[in-house]
Amino acid sequence: MKEHDAAGKKPIQIGKGKASTVGRGRRSRFVRQMKWRVGVVAFIMFSLPVVLLPRRVAVRFGELAGILVFHLCRCERLRAIENIQGSLSYFERNGGLDPAYGSPYEIARRTFAQFGKSVVEVLKLYYGVGRGIIDSVEIRGLEHYWKACERNKGIIFITGHCGNWELMALAFGARYAPVSVVAKHQDNRFFNSAIENLRSNFRNGVIYTDGAARKVFYELRQKGIVGILLDKVVKPQEGAVVDFLGRPAWTPIMPAIIAAKTGVPLVPIFIHREGDRHVITISPEIDFSCDDTATMDSVAITQELTSHIENYIRTHPDEWMWMYKRWKNVA
């Protein structure tokens, strides 16, 4: 629509900016929906053949797919290698890595291969043909879990992006007690729904990060179990900067605050591969004492929890997700 100014000389565009903004919004939604649909088609095309394969063959296929992604995705490959290189000085100060793991390049390559295996295993569970995977998981340290249960305050499981962490939660939920996992809501509605269905099929639930504290408190009041990945980046208002593999990283502080206020047990739990099977290891609950400064105490607890993830990585360096942007947003 055009109108003339007072002098009647130049046309003035009315509503053009708003129409342009609306148009961009529609195009953005269209592109997003197309990406969702393409993602769903790719998921189905990849997953169905994998599910039909015998377990060992399927896992081997996932390993090769992970290696292929390692070579094709340059940014993720370089990020993983750089993250490992940036952590070498930390490893050297703490006894070093087993030379058998090889160079940062070799560790990164095996990390992608391990991740590919995990994806295939989760796919089999999603389609309901992976019960044998659940049954073959060995759980060590169950006495620490039972001891924490005696506190009758609920439990917070502390873990990280280690091994097949999704399988760990599913196996524990299927065999012992449901676990409500704190997770980010996926932008893709299909994948978000698929993950929810997978977890619910094994009695587990999801607590989304938006407003998570209130829901975590509720779950613990019901004497439930909450699982938290502590090695994820959070906003400053949701965490604190602690040392992780020798470098500062934003880390969730919610578990420490809740434990300081309620006395709920914080129990480290991890999963790793041993040959063709998985082993879950449950450690004793974290023993901590509150000082006069609640904030400082919470940071100290968070640092102590983080050290358990560091110990895992030193022992299983190719089973942590090195391609993750763990140290971003730190000045």
Residue with tokens 């082993």: 279
Extract the tokens encoding 6.
């007072």
Q: Please choose, from the candidates 160, 311, 331, 330, the residue with its C-alpha nearest in 3D space to the C-alpha of residue 249.
A: 330
Total domains in the chain come to 1
* Residue 10, domain member (yes or no): no
- Residue 118 tokens, joined: 């995990």
Measured distance CA(274)–CA(137) in Å, rounded: 10
How far apart, in whole angstroms, are the C-alpha atoms of residue 80 and residue 315?
Answer: 18
**How far, in Å, CA of 80 to CA of 104, rounded?**
8
Domain range for residue 236? Answer: 53-319
The contacts of residue 300 (CB under 8 Å, 6+ apart) are 288
| Closest by CA position to 289, among listed 300, 280, 278, 279 | 300
pLDDT for position 14: 45
pLDDT band at 304 (very low <50, low <70, confident <90, very high): very high
Residue 324, classed as helix, strand or coil, is coil
3-state secondary structure of 250: strand
Q: Give the distance, in angstroms, between the CA of residue 81 and the centroid of all CA atoms in the same chain.
A: 19
**What pLDDT does residue 193 have?**
85
Q: How many CB atoms sit inside 10 A of residue 291's CB?
A: 10
Lowest-pLDDT range of 95-104, 164-173, 304-313:
95-104
Predicted TM-score of the model (pTM): 0.86
> 3-class DSSP state for residue 272?
strand
Q: Which of 189-198, 223-232, 284-293 has the lowest mean pLDDT?
A: 284-293
d(CA 50, CA 44): 10
